[in-house]
Amino acid sequence: MSQFTVEDVIEFIEENDVKFIRLAFCDLYGIQKNISIMPGELRSAFEKGINFDSFLINGYEKIENQDLFLKPDPDTLHILPWRPQSGRVVRLYCDIVLADGTPFAYDYRHFLKDTLKECENEGFNTRMGLKSEFYLFKTDEEDNSTNIPFDNGSYFDVAPNDKGENIRREICLTLEEIGIKPQSSHHERGPGQNEIDFMPDDVLTTADNFVTYKNVVENIAARNGVFASFDPMPLEDKPGNGLHIKMANYKKGENLQITDKEFSESFIAGILNRMRDITLFLNCRKDSYNRFGITEAPKYITWSSQNNSRLLRVPEINGHSEHFILRSPDSCINPYLASAIVIQAGLAGVRNKEQLPPPLDINSRLLTEDRTANLATLPLTIEDAIECASNSEFINNSNFKDIATHYIETIKSRV
C-alpha cells in the first residue's frame, strides 16, 4: 500500500517551509542526478512530469525522438537534513516516462517494479538488505581528494586508530533522521575503509535507500573535510570496496528460507547458475574486476553455509538459514537494474526447479590449484563479462532482453 498520496506530499510541502524539491533519478552507473523545482511546480510534476535533456545523461545519450519526463513517486518523500532547515529541501525519486505518461522502456526503476510484480504473480515477495564499503581519503588545501587514507586503521579497530567513527556516527544518525535504518557500522580491513550495514526492507525501498545512502555518505564526509570513495579498487594494493546483497523470500509473511527449502534452493541455484551471465550488471566498471580474488573478494562460483569468502553464503543459525548473501557486487551498480537482474535469475531457477551443487566449505587460503582446477570463475575482465552477457541464453530469451541489451551495448561503448 502507498504510504503517501500526491495530496499528502503537497500538504506536507506547504506546512513545513519547503522551498526546494529535488526530483532525483540515476544514470546508468547508479549515480544520482536531480533537478530542483519550486513548490508551485510540484502538482504539474506529479500530473505531467518534468522534461529533461536525456542525451546528456550516461546511458540515455542514444535516445532519439523521444522527450523524457521525470515523474515523482510520492512514497519517496524525504527531507534532506544536511540542507538548511529554513527554506527546507526535500527529495523525491522519480520514474521516467514518455510525453504520454507511459513508462520509458529503459527505466531501470520501472524494470525493478515489473520484476517485483512477477514475484507477486508467483506468490511471493522479496526483502533485501545491503552491506556497503567505502574509503575515506584526506583532501588537499583546495578540498580536492588525495589518495592518502584518512587513517591507518584495520578491521574492527577503535579510536584513535579508527578516525572515522565520528563520521560513521553522523552518517548513521542522518540516515535514521531520513527514515533509513542502519544495522551496524565499523572500520573495515583497509586503511580509511569503512562499512555500514542496513536492515532489510522491500527491494524497491532498499534500492532507493541505497542511492540516498551514497549521497549521505558523500555529503557528511565532505562536511568533515574528507572524501568518500565507493570505487571498487581505490587503492591498488589494498582491499577493494564490495557491496553485499542480502536477500530472503517470503510468502504470506513466512520466510521461505525456513519453510520451503526446495523453493529457496532453486532460487539460489538460479543465481549461481547465471553468475557469468549477470556479472556485468553487478560490476559495471573496468576496475570492478581488479577486486575479484583479492583478500576476501570472491572469484569462484561457489557457495557455502559457513565460509565467509564464498561468492554466495547461506548462513545457518540454530540449524536453519534466514537469508542468503551475494558477495560479488560493488557499489557502482545501478541498484534498480542489479537487484532486478538477480531476482530474475532466481525466478528462472525456481521455474526450472534447479538444484544447488554441493557447498564448498573449505577456507579460501587452503584452496590449492588442484582444488580450484574444476571450479567455474566469475568473468575476470569487463570484456569477458560483456561477452558472457551478450551471448547469454538466459538474457536473450527473456522478456527483459531489450533493456538488458541496451545496458550491455552502452557499457560496451565505454570500454
Q: Are β-strands 303-304 and 312-313 bridged in parallel, bridged antiparallel, or unpaired?
A: parallel
Q: Indicate whether 51 and 148 sit together in one domain.
A: no
Residue 131, pLDDT above cutoff 70: yes
Which tens digit of pLDDT belongs to each residue from 245-274? 999 999 999 999 999 999 999 999 999 999
Separation between Cα atoms, residue 327 and residue 342, nearest integer Å: 12
- Find the mean pLDDT for residues 33-48: 96
In the listed set 104, 133, 153, which residue is the last one of a domain according to the structure?
Answer: 104
Q: Indicate whether 361 and 390 sit together in one domain.
A: yes
- Among residues 323, 80, 75, the alpha carbon closest in space to that of 197 is found at 323
- Find the mean pLDDT for residues 36-41: 96
- Find the mean pLDDT for residues 294-303: 92
Q: Quick check: is 1 in a domain?
A: no
Question: What's the pLDDT score for residue 366?
Answer: 65
Which tens digit of pLDDT belongs to each residue from 86-121? 889 999 999 999 999 999 999 999 999 999 999 999
Helix, strand, coil fractions of the chain, as percent rounded to 5: 35, 25, 40
Split into its structural domains, the chain has a count of: 2
DSSP 222-287: HHTTEEEE--S-SSTTSPPP-EEEEEEEEETTEEHHHH-HHHHHHHHHHHHTTHHHHHHHH--SGG
In the listed set 49, 71, 104, which residue is the last one of a domain according to the structure?
Answer: 104
Q: Indicate whether 148 and 77 sit together in one domain.
A: no
- Among residues 297, 406, 282, the alpha carbon closest in space to that of 345 is found at 282
Q: Indicate whether 12 and 48 sit together in one domain.
A: yes
Question: What's the pLDDT score for residue 376?
Answer: 94
Task: For residue 88, give its domain range.
Answer: 6-104
Q: Quick check: is 38 in a domain?
A: yes
Q: Quick check: is 281 in a domain?
A: yes
Q: Indicate whether 150 and 79 sit together in one domain.
A: no
- Find the mean pLDDT for residues 135-151: 96
Q: Indicate whether 14 and 119 sit together in one domain.
A: no
Residue 343, pLDDT above cutoff 70: yes
CB-neighbour burial class of residue 1 (10 A; exposed 0-12, middle 13-18, buried 19+): exposed
Question: What's the pLDDT score for residue 84?
Answer: 76
Q: Indicate whether 145 and 251 sit together in one domain.
A: yes
Q: Quick check: is 223 in a domain?
A: yes
- Among residues 370, 376, 273, 281, the alpha carbon closest in space to that of 330 is found at 281
Q: Indicate whether 89 and 201 sit together in one domain.
A: no
Residue 300, pLDDT above cutoff 90: yes
0.85 exceeded by the pTM? yes
Percent of the chain exceeding pLDDT 70 equals: 97
Top pLDDT among 312 and 320 is at: 312
Q: Quick check: is 190 in a domain?
A: yes
Q: Quick check: is 109 in a domain?
A: no
End-to-end Cα separation, the chain, in angstroms? 42
Question: What's the pLDDT score for residue 1?
Answer: 36
Which CATH number covers residue 22?
3.10.20.70
Which CATH number covers residue 294?
3.30.590.10
Vertex 124 angle, CA 205 and 323, to 5°: 70
Q: Indicate whether 278 and 208 sit together in one domain.
A: yes
Q: Indicate whether 184 and 241 sit together in one domain.
A: yes
Question: What's the pLDDT score for residue 210?
Answer: 97
Q: Quick check: is 186 in a domain?
A: yes
In the listed set 53, 76, 104, which residue is the last one of a domain according to the structure?
Answer: 104
- Among residues 58, 132, 30, 60, the alpha carbon closest in space to that of 340 is found at 30
Which tens digit of pLDDT belongs to each residue from 391-401? 999 999 999 99
Q: Indicate whether 165 and 261 sit together in one domain.
A: yes
Residues 250, 125 contacting (CB under 8 angstroms) = yes
Q: Where is average pLDDT lowest: 93-102, 328-337, 370-379?
A: 370-379
Q: Indicate whether 95 and 146 sit together in one domain.
A: no
Separation between Cα atoms, residue 400 and residue 341, nearest integer Å: 9
Top pLDDT among 294 and 231 is at: 231
Q: Quick check: is 110 in a domain?
A: no
Question: What's the pLDDT score for residue 368?
Answer: 65
